[in-house]
Amino acid sequence: MTGTNHSFSRISAVDNAIDLLLLLSNKSDRSIRELGEELNVTKSTLHRTLQTLEDRGFVKQDRISQKYSLGYKILELSVKLKSQSEIRNLALENMEELRDLIGDTVQLAILEGEQILIIETIEGTKELRIFSKAGQTLPLTYGNFGRVFLSHMDFSKVQTLIEKYPLKQYGSESIVDKETYLNKLKDVKANGISVSIDDPIDGAVSMAVPIFDKAGNVIASLSIVGAKTSQLVENITSVQQLVKNIGLKITEKV
């Protein structure tokens, strides 16, 4: 059987925008007439597409020649993608090392705007384990990832973000009192790790540490999450040290 059977309806406006960006990536400085001839769309459709992309920074128009080229938003996205790919590649070997040492699921997350984005997951090997997936986004006040990122932000910004993303009862031990949460952030920063049981997932133990760049900024967070077994709880102090050591190894590579 040949060909591709699409089970969805493509959106023509999105297709037009993507085609336009691809054209400009091959050759910048094109007039609206040249673009119209290449894309075979009506002038009014092309004008609306260009105006939308220009408003969002994806294309720009030279005010003298009136020709269009790619905008700086494309560069911003490529820098973000490169950064995400680099930190993932740097961390992957150490994440696998940590998983082999403790047998629990290991995750790596970054901040994407005001959301947590999991960019890599190494699934645990234990019979009882917590599943997660790369590409998942989480609220900024969610679990240990959130506490790691927030603990290294200015206090005023943290208060604003907590107002914007209220604390929720994800697990039975989730902190929902603002003052208690702010004090917890101080402890996380001082100890270099955030640890929780039954938060944000009941029946789970989780912890996270920051990954720093050369300037001392938190650029990612490394986390482990496992089922709340007696073995893991009894050895939680030694596991914390392992996670901190692996986090330091990754930071030293950045």
Sign of the Cα torsion 174, 180, 183, 187 reads: negative
Tell whether 5 is covered by a domain.
no
Find tokens 């998942």 and name the residue: 136
Instruction: Report how far Cα 236 is from the mean position of its chain's Cα atoms.
Output: 27
Tell whether 1 is covered by a domain.
no
Tell whether 6 is covered by a domain.
no
Q: Are residues 54 and 112 in the same domain?
A: no
Q: Which of 205, 209, 227, 228 is nearest to 218 (CA)?
A: 209
What count of Cα atoms within 13 Å lies in the side-chain half-sphere of residue 63?
A: 0
Q: Are residues 102 and 197 in the same domain?
A: yes
Q: Are residues 130 and 22 in the same domain?
A: no
Residue that finishes a domain, picked among 30, 46, 70: 70
Burial 39-66 (b: 16+ CB within 10 A, else e): bebeeeebeebbeebeeeebbbbeeeee
Q: Are residues 164 and 206 in the same domain?
A: yes
Tell whether 175 is covered by a domain.
yes
Tell whether 4 is covered by a domain.
no
Going through 25-136 in order, the beta strands assigned E by DSSP cover 59-61, 68-70, 105-112, 115-122
Q: What DSSP designation does 5 have?
A: -
Q: Are residues 56 and 172 in the same domain?
A: no
Q: Are residues 84 and 52 in the same domain?
A: no
Q: Are residues 248 and 197 in the same domain?
A: yes
Q: Are residues 172 and 114 in the same domain?
A: yes
CATH number at residue 34: 1.10.10.10
* Count of structural domains, the chain: 2
Q: Are residues 51 and 166 in the same domain?
A: no
Beta strand pairing call for 115-122 and 105-112: antiparallel
Instruction: Report how far Cα 248 is from the mean position of its chain's Cα atoms.
Output: 20
pLDDT in tens, the chain (254 residues): 334 444 455 678 888 888 888 888 887 788 888 888 888 888 888 989 999 999 999 999 988 899 999 988 887 777 667 666 789 999 999 999 999 999 999 999 999 888 999 999 999 998 877 777 788 889 999 999 999 999 999 999 999 999 999 999 999 999 999 999 999 999 999 999 999 999 999 999 999 999 999 999 999 999 999 999 999 999 999 999 999 999 999 999 98
Tell whether 181 is covered by a domain.
yes
The C-alpha atoms of residue 25 and residue 86 are separated, in whole angstroms, by 23
What count of Cα atoms within 13 Å lies in the side-chain half-sphere of residue 27?
A: 5
Q: Are residues 227 and 183 in the same domain?
A: yes
Q: Are residues 134 and 206 in the same domain?
A: yes
Q: Are residues 101 and 35 in the same domain?
A: no
30 is in which domain, residue-wise? Answer: 12-70
